[in-house]
Amino acid sequence: MKLTQLLSGLLMLVIVVSLAFGQEEGERTAKNVVKDLRDRDRGVKLLAIAECAEFPDSTIGVQLTKMLKDKDFEVRMAVVDALSKRKSDADRKRAAQALSARLKPLAGKLQTAEEYEAVIDALGKLAQPLSIKSLLDMTIEEERSTALARLMAVAEIPHKDAIDALIQFGSKGRNRGTNNQRDSTVKALRRATGQKFNRDMDKWRAWWRENRDTFDFKMMKEERAAEAEAAAEREARQAEKRRKRAEKRKKRGEREEGQK
């Protein structure tokens, strides 16, 4: 009896200690995450990066920017995505500054093309005025798709300087004879403003001169979001129609096969 009680007591002690240890282990803090971000193990770093969105602490944002030059491609891609989701103004500015600095080292190289596009996309999501200059600092040889992506990233920035810069870039493109970049600039200006002018930058400049002080960036952003939602709904309906047509063709084929 005494032995049984002793064993039961020991078992309870083990359970209590295990629960306490598990609870302590489960209480993650920003300090824990930063420690794992600095770990040498790739898997540990990737798991820590996935947790970053739950912690607004600036120490995490700082550590993420340091990891943009990590040796592992998958880690770098995860870091770019994590930086694009930072919430505080300070973190978003810090992230945009660090990502802007990555544009030149990544541009024009086949082996870094995917990472380059991810950085451009992240800068568009962060939408920080400080990245305008870096996004528009591209050569005449820039690939058409990435030139458009960079210009569209500028279009996402809700600031007067962004439209000023796009109009200036379009005029510069005309002087250099880069029709592709000029066409891409028009697309970006249309997205940023909702206006439908063509390549004539004088028309854009005249319109902007009249509307610069009163332009409602918040309303424009809401309109873009509504358009994107409507487009997604249209695509969903089209996908459903394609699915039903494919199903009908399959059933018809099965009937024909059964009649043979």
Q: How far apart are CA 230 and CA 109, in angstroms?
A: 36
- Per-residue pLDDT tens over the stretch 152-174: 999 999 999 999 999 999 987 54
All domains in the chain, ordered by first residue: 28-128 (1.25.10.10), 136-215 (no CATH)
pLDDT at site 21: 42
C-alpha to C-alpha distances, 45 to 68, 169, 234, nearest whole angstrom: 13, 40, 39
CA 59-91-160 angle, 5° bins: 165
Q: Enter the pTM of the model.
A: 0.80
Distance of CA 94 to the CA centre of its chain: 15
Residue 150, token pair as written in the block? 């960079």
Q: What are phi and psi of 245, to 5 degrees?
A: -65, -40
- Per-residue pLDDT tens over the stretch 174-222: 444 466 788 899 999 999 999 999 989 999 999 999 999 999 999 998 9
Q: How far apart are CA 223 and CA 219, in angstroms?
A: 6
On whether the CB atoms of residues 36 and 48 are closer than 8 A, the answer is yes
Classify 86 as helix, strand or coil.
coil
Helix ranges (DSSP H) in 111-178:
113-126, 132-136, 144-155, 160-176
Mean pLDDT of 128-148: 92
pLDDT at site 181: 80
Give 40's DSSP letter. S
